[in-house]
Structure formats: C-alpha cells, structure tokens
Amino acid sequence: MTTSNNLFQFEIEAAEGNARAGRFHTVHGDVITPIFAPVGTQAAMKGGITTAQLAEVGANLVLANTYHLHLRPGEDLVDELGGVHQFMQWHGPMLTDSGGFQVFSLAQMRKVDEDGVTFRSYIDGSKRRLTPESAIQIEEKLGADIIMAFDECAEPYDHRYSLAAMERTHRWAVRCKAAHSRTDQALFGIVQGGIFPDLRQRSAEFIAELDTPGIAIGGLSVGETKQEMHTVLDQVNQVLPMEKPRYLMGVGSPEDLVNGILRGVDIFDCVLPTRLARHKAAMTMTGRVNLLNASNTRDPQPIDPECGCYTCQHFSRAYLRHLFVAKEPLGGTLVSIHNLYTLLDLVRRCRAAIFEGRFTQFASDFLANYRV
Amino acid sequence: MTTSNNLFQFEIEAAEGNARAGRFHTVHGDVITPIFAPVGTQAAMKGGITTAQLAEVGANLVLANTYHLHLRPGEDLVDELGGVHQFMQWHGPMLTDSGGFQVFSLAQMRKVDEDGVTFRSYIDGSKRRLTPESAIQIEEKLGADIIMAFDECAEPYDHRYSLAAMERTHRWAVRCKAAHSRTDQALFGIVQGGIFPDLRQRSAEFIAELDTPGIAIGGLSVGETKQEMHTVLDQVNQVLPMEKPRYLMGVGSPEDLVNGILRGVDIFDCVLPTRLARHKAAMTMTGRVNLLNASNTRDPQPIDPECGCYTCQHFSRAYLRHLFVAKEPLGGTLVSIHNLYTLLDLVRRCRAAIFEGRFTQFASDFLANYRV
C-alpha cells in the first residue's frame, strides 16, 4: 500500500532511449510499467478466467468498461456492493475507460451535441445519455484507481471531423477535470487528432497543459497503418511530459507492445488475448498459432515449449485442438491463460531489458523474429 | 503410489450400519470413499474448469466417457499421447465408462444383436460398432484405472426387455472379463435389472460371482422414483460382497449421495454439478438456489456463507447473477466450482461422520433439512 505523499506520482526507475520502466502509485498498489492491462469488459474476464487465474498469469492493472457496466448492472449497484474492485474481486490497481470509445464505435443511433452524446442501449433499446459530467460520476461510483476523461474518438482519416472531435474532446476534458472529485482516483486526459500531425501536436500540448496525473493516447488501432500509428506515437511522446505515465488505449498485439514501449508508452490494454483465444489462436513471442491447424492433431508439444504458463506447462497442442474441435469451453480458457501470460511475460521482459540497458537490442531482435 | 501387493484391494477403514469409509488402491493413488467423481465427458470438465481447479475443489476420482472419446478424438490418439491421464492432465485415479449407457441413450439408429451394437456417430453420421471386446480394447487404450464392462441399460419399467437386457449384460460381462488384459486397470461388472426385484437379485448374484475388483449398479436415475431407487440399492447391496467397492452410476444430487451412502454405496458420478451451473443453479447442503432470481440482484452474500469454496470465499450472489444476466462464461465457471466443491465437501463430511460413528444421525439431519 502506498502512502498519500506519493499517490499518483510516476517514478521512472530506468530508461533507455524513449523506453521507460517505472511505478505509478495508487491506493491499490503500484502499476509497474511497462504494463499490459487485461480487459474485464463487464467486470469479468472472458473465457471463464477467474481473478485468481489473472493473478497467476501475472496481471497487475485490470481494466473494466464504464459503458458496459453503466448499462448492466448499473454503477449504483456496483457502488452499493463496494465498488468494482470488491464486485469482481480484483484487489490490485484498476482502470475504467469513460465509455466514449464504445459510444462512438458500438452505440446505435448516437447523436453528438456540445453537451454530450445520446444513444440507445444495445440491451433494451432504451434512450441513454452520457456527458463529461455523467461519465465522471459513473466512473466515481465504479471506483477504479485510474479513470478516463470522456472523449470523442473520430474516424482517423477525416481531418475536418478529427479537428472538430479533438476540440470537443479538449473542452470535455476540462469539464471532466472540473467534475472529478474523488481524491483516490487519478483522472487521465486523452490525446486525440486522428493521423494528422498538426492535430496530434495541438492535442498533446493541450492535454499536457491540463496537467492530469497521466495521459492517454486515444484514437489509434482503429484502422490506420502501423507506420501511421508509430508516427503519431513518436510525435505525441515528444510533446508529453516525461514525468507522466502514457497509456496507449486499445492496443495489445506483441509487436505493438514492443513498438509502443520503444516510443515511450507505459501502459497498454486490449481484448485481443481473450478474443484470439475464443477464435482458437495462440499468441507467441514469434507470431500467432492457429490451434485448429491439422498439423497440431497429434502434436504432443505445448503451444510454446519456452513458455512458463499453466497451459504450456501441462497441455499438448493435440489436447487443445481436441478441445476446440469438441467445442469444449476449456479450450478458450486454457488459451486465454496462455495469451494473457504471453503479453504479461513480454512486458516483464521489456522492463528487465530497460533496467539492464539492452532494450533497444531486445526490441530489434524481437521484431526481426516476429511474423505478423 | 500403492504397491502391487494391495492393488485393487478395498480397505474398509470404518463402517456404520450399511455405510462404509474406505480406500481402493490404484496405481494413480487411492480412491478415498465415499467419493463423488466429477465427469470430464470429452476428457475436459465443462465450464472451463481446469484440472488445477478440480484439485482445488478436492476431486479425487475423475471420470471420462469412452463413447465420446472413441468418436472424438479417438482412443488411438489418446493412447499415442500417453493415455487419458496425461492427455487431460489429471494425475489422480480415473474411471471410464464403457460407452454402453451413451449408445443406448444417445446414439441414433442403434441396432442391438448378441454380438454388440451398431449405431451412427452423432458427429459425422458414420456407422460405428461397439462390442464387449471392442469397448474393452478402447478402454485399455484410454488407460483409466477403473474401467467398466459393456452393458445394456434398459428402460426401467419393461420386465421383458429388462430381463433380456440383463441377461445380455451378463453374457457381455463374461466376454469383457475375458477380453481384458491390462493388469494396471480394474474392470468393474455392472448390475442391471431395472426396478424388478427378481432381476436385480439375479443380476447382483451373477456379477458378484464374476468376481471383478469392484461392482457397479447401473440403470438407475433413468426415470424411476427415489423410492424405487432406494429399494433396488437396499436389495442389491445385501447381495454384493462387503469387500468390493460399489459404484452407483450417474447419480449425484446431494440427497442421492446421502441416501446412497446410507445404503452402502461407495462411489458416485454425475454431470449434475456442472450442468446445473450452466443453468444458473447452485447446489447447497439444504437445496438448490436459482441465481437468476431477482432476490439475488443486490445480495452481497455468497451462495452459502458456510461454504469454503473459492466462489463463496470471494463472490456475492449479486455478482454471480450479473455474470449470468450479462452472459459471461465466468458465471458458469464459478458456480461449477461451487457445485463440485459442495458435493466433494458433502462426501468428506459423510466419511468423517462414518469414522466417528455419527453418520446415521448426520444423514437423518441432512435429509430433514434438505428441500428437494
């Protein structure tokens, strides 16, 4: 447990080039960076993964989605039951997004105005509304350690729309900061601006100026190329203050983690490890493995003989393939465990390499061996 | 690990009335009775339960289904990968049924003759055949510690059919014993005869005479009343030799376990705990709980405040209900853990009560408090 005098400070313990290894202090313990945050969308991991199993794969920071929890079971119920940590029984650091991304990407019939967004619930069709103030109020009731400002995530290639969305995101960020009252939560502002250097520059400057305890980079991994993502990261991270943690939202393939850390990112989240597992694909340090491939039918080897996860320490590819063919949910569970472990092991290795001054070489070797 | 000089001996450590507490020695360790065996139909527990979680709930003996594994992935593949223990990574005692029950209850277009049964695979419609000899050959390749004779499970109320099925089951049991060659596996004969006292008497005498290391009681929990089941158990267990373990197949509700142990049963198996969990129902020592009930919506209490399982030690009824409403697989996983723990805790309590000479009172109190 951290003491209040360093709450929400980010200690950079080691750095190499733009890459950093650090600790962000929260009341539920330190976020140890660089880190990948598994996503428990509805306050539950997909694939039947328990929080005990999350701890076993080495999770540290865990994310839940404000949009989904607002619609079901509702923030009042979560609050009444002691907040999201108690509700889902994750006692380490937690993060909630603001619902902005889901409202703009998932919500039916959304209508944006200066004050907020009106949309229909995908569950019962009821009319709902989120504003910067109500999003913060919901996040305060959910009670995560890190909460996000309510932003507008635009389609990345439309300069006119990206400009308007970015400017609204800035006005909303100011309102979010004014609305936020819980001192045990860190509010992060979000940099937007699509793929446009002029917009990203302005947005990074504006959000840096807002002086939130951490800063997120939004609007990436939404259709742009890897090169475009890297250009944005290079540019934004030159502007952002060194002493604040940087969170790249919704990004989580192994090569994206390494490329992000190379460019100064500290925190990542993504549904990819559990989603891929449901689709019978395993992540490895050298690329993806489709477990349904006939080549795995009689293979007594694990997914990755060098992996230390529960799944690789026990189960053959042949068994995992059998589970998928037989439609046994255990297949998705075991491969989720492996995929989560792989990403968490990767960020641990990156962190160790930064401490030892060999991260540039590590990243270069990793990316050379990785088949996208 | 047991030594070969007591392999497949059943040591009765304590008894009270007809109830017994004992140990059946196998090369993968002792089956500690009375015991409930969770069912891993396709060499996997439903609900994404890992074998590590099975060990945590206190499982001892685990069952897999010959019929399902024969059809997919096939016994040759399981054999090639080191047998069913290695395949699914359960290193304690294992049991396989013979496929008889599934062929008669699930198989399409089955045709019985004196030599065996022809049926179509539910997976690909291909024509398949099981005989006593081929069923044993499959079970030898799967490699469980306890294997079952190939039997014919008849509809329980037809005396003529029950008689014919019983007599065929006896002839097949003799053939199974002759076909069985692995000395590290115990073959159990199966008593049949529907609800008919004359048939059950004859069948128990015949199977006892066959002198297999353990004896199963089949053809129950297939539509008869509880009273009819108890009458059969009372009768059969008077005939069966004291010194052999008795296995009541396919039975596993809490009250059935207690009633069975009262009547001299040592081993049970059933898919009920994981099936109920998928249907949002929790087993408790006093009856079933439907977690979807609105009364659970804001309930911060666990399923059973006195239960020691992972689920009850951590999660509220409100959270479990949320998981089911939100269609999160974790709901079924957590309630499966609870249900399996409940049955295994119940048989542990029965065993302790037998050792302490208070089982009759325990059973009486339990059944008085249990709401069916």
pLDDT average, residue stretch B276-300: 98
How high is the pLDDT of residue A155? 80
**What's the pLDDT tens digit per position in B151-166?**
998 887 899 999 999 9
Contact A333 B50 (CB under 8 A): yes
Give, in order, the Cα–Cα distances in Å from A161 to each of A114, A137, A153, A156, B113.
14, 27, 10, 9, 75
How high is the pLDDT of residue B271? 97
How high is the pLDDT of residue A2? 45
Contacts of A332 in chain B (CB under 8 A): 48, 329
- Strand A281-284 relative to strand A287-290: parallel, antiparallel, unpaired? antiparallel
How high is the pLDDT of residue B4? 56
Same-domain check for residues B101 and B224: yes
Contact A50 B333 (CB under 8 A): yes
Name the strand (E) or helix (H) holding B283: strand B281-284
Interface of A with B in 127-166 (CB under 8 A): none
Indicate the residue among B245, B270, B295 that finishes a domain.
B270
Identify from B322, B337, B341 which residue to disrupt to test chain A contact, counting A C-beta atoms within 10 A and taking the largest count.
B322
Contacts of B51 in chain A (CB under 8 A): 314
Same-domain check for residues A294 and A152: no
Same-domain check for residues B72 and B145: yes
Query: Could you tell me which chain B residue has the CA closest to the CA of A330?
Result: B48
Is B220 domain-assigned? Answer: yes
Contacts of B68 in chain A (CB under 8 A): 326
Half-sphere exposure of A327 (CA within 13 A, CB side): 2
Closest Cα in chain A, distance from residue B301 (Å): 10
The complex scores an ipTM of 0.96
How far apart CA A337 and CA A290 sit, in angstroms, is 16
Same-domain check for residues B226 and B295: no
Please give the residue range of the domain that contains residue A263: 4-33+65-269
Residue among B315, B316, B330 minimizing CB distance to A48: B330
3-state secondary structure of B29: strand
Q: Is residue B304 predicted with pLDDT exceeding 60?
A: yes
Token code pair at residue A278: 């449901």
Report the CATH number at residue A80.
3.20.20.105
Contacts of B80 in chain A (CB under 8 A): 298
* Alpha carbon A40 to its chain's center: 10
What's the N-to-C CA distance of chain A in angstroms? 40
Contact B334 A50 (CB under 8 A): yes
pLDDT in tens, chain A (372 residues): 445 579 999 999 999 999 999 999 999 999 999 999 999 999 999 999 999 999 999 999 999 999 999 999 999 999 999 999 999 999 999 999 999 888 888 766 789 999 999 999 989 999 999 999 999 999 999 999 999 999 998 887 899 999 999 999 999 999 999 999 999 999 999 999 999 999 999 999 999 999 999 999 999 998 899 999 999 999 999 999 999 999 999 999 999 999 999 999 999 999 999 999 999 999 999 999 999 999 999 999 999 999 999 999 999 999 999 999 999 999 999 999 999 999 999 999 999 999 999 999 999 999 999 998
**What's the pLDDT tens digit per position in B10-69?**
999 999 999 999 999 999 999 999 999 999 999 999 999 999 999 999 999 999 999 999
Same-domain check for residues B286 and B266: no
Same-domain check for residues A256 and A297: no
Same-domain check for residues A294 and A255: no
How far apart CA B224 and CA B115 sit, in angstroms, is 29
Residue among A68, A298, A314 minimizing CB distance to B80: A298
Is B47 domain-assigned? Answer: no
Contacts of B324 in chain A (CB under 8 A): none
Q: Which residues contact A221 (CB under 8 A, 6 or more apart)?
A: A229, A250, A251, A256, A270
Is B309 domain-assigned? Answer: yes
Is B353 domain-assigned? Answer: no
Same-domain check for residues A107 and A233: yes
B43/A contact by beta carbon, under 8 A: yes
pTM: 0.97
DSSP string, B130-184: E-HHHHHHHHHHHT-SEEE-------TT-HHHHHHHHHHHHHHHHHHHHH---TT
Which of B145, B256, B269, B304 is the catalytic position?
B269
Token code pair at residue B122: 């539910």
B77/A contact by beta carbon, under 8 A: yes
pLDDT average, residue stretch B78-102: 96
Contacts of B77 in chain A (CB under 8 A): 297-298, 318, 322
Same-domain check for residues A138 and A111: yes
Contacts of B67 in chain A (CB under 8 A): none
Contact A48 B48 (CB under 8 A): yes
How high is the pLDDT of residue B156? 79
A65/B contact by beta carbon, under 8 A: no
Give, in order, the Cα–Cα distances in Å from B256 to each of A215, B170, B369.
59, 27, 14
- Strand A29-33 relative to strand A19-26: parallel, antiparallel, unpaired? antiparallel
How far apart CA B322 and CA B316 sit, in angstroms, is 10
How high is the pLDDT of residue B1? 45
Is A196 domain-assigned? Answer: yes
* Alpha carbon B174 to its chain's center: 23
Same-domain check for residues A195 and A299: no
Encode A316-343 in three state secondary structure. CHHHHHHHHHCCCHHHHHHHHHHHHHHH
Indicate the residue among B219, B241, B270 that finishes a domain.
B270
Query: Could you tell me which chain A residue has the CA closest to the CA of B68?
Result: A326
Number of domain units in chain A: 2
How high is the pLDDT of residue B110? 87
How high is the pLDDT of residue A4? 56
Contacts of B333 in chain A (CB under 8 A): 48, 50, 333
- Decide: A268 and A37 in contact? Cβ < 8 Å: yes
Contact A43 B298 (CB under 8 A): no
Residue among B43, B329, B334 minimizing CB distance to A329: B329
Q: Which residues pair with A189 in a beta bridge?
A: A215
Same-domain check for residues A326 and A263: no
Q: What percent of chain B has pLDDT over 90?
A: 92
How far apart CA B10 and CA B23 sit, in angstroms, is 6
Mean of the per-residue pLDDT values of chain B = 96
Same-domain check for residues A246 and A283: no
Is B127 domain-assigned? Answer: yes
Query: Could you tell me which chain A residue has the CA closest to the CA of B84?
Result: A319
How high is the pLDDT of residue A65? 97
Q: Dihedral of CA B205/B206/B210/B212: which sign? A: negative
How high is the pLDDT of residue B69? 98
Is B118 domain-assigned? Answer: yes
Closest Cα in chain B, distance from residue A75 (Å): 12
B46/A contact by beta carbon, under 8 A: yes
| B286: amino acid identity, one letter | T
Interface of B with A in 271-330 (CB under 8 A): 297-298, 300, 310, 314-316, 318-319, 322-323, 325-326, 328-330
- Decide: A99 and A138 in contact? Cβ < 8 Å: yes
How far apart CA B368 and CA B346 sit, in angstroms, is 15
pLDDT average, residue stretch B136-149: 98
pLDDT average, residue stretch B98-111: 83
pLDDT average, residue stretch B322-351: 98
Closest Cα in chain B, distance from residue A127 (Å): 19
Q: Which residues contact A30 (CB under 8 A, 6 or more apart)?
A: A2, A23, A24, A93
Q: Is residue B2 predicted with pLDDT exceeding 50?
A: no
Query: Could you tell me which chain B residue has the CA closest to the CA of A337?
Result: B50
- Strand B287-290 relative to strand B281-284: parallel, antiparallel, unpaired? antiparallel
Closest Cα in chain B, distance from residue A65 (Å): 13
Is B115 domain-assigned? Answer: yes
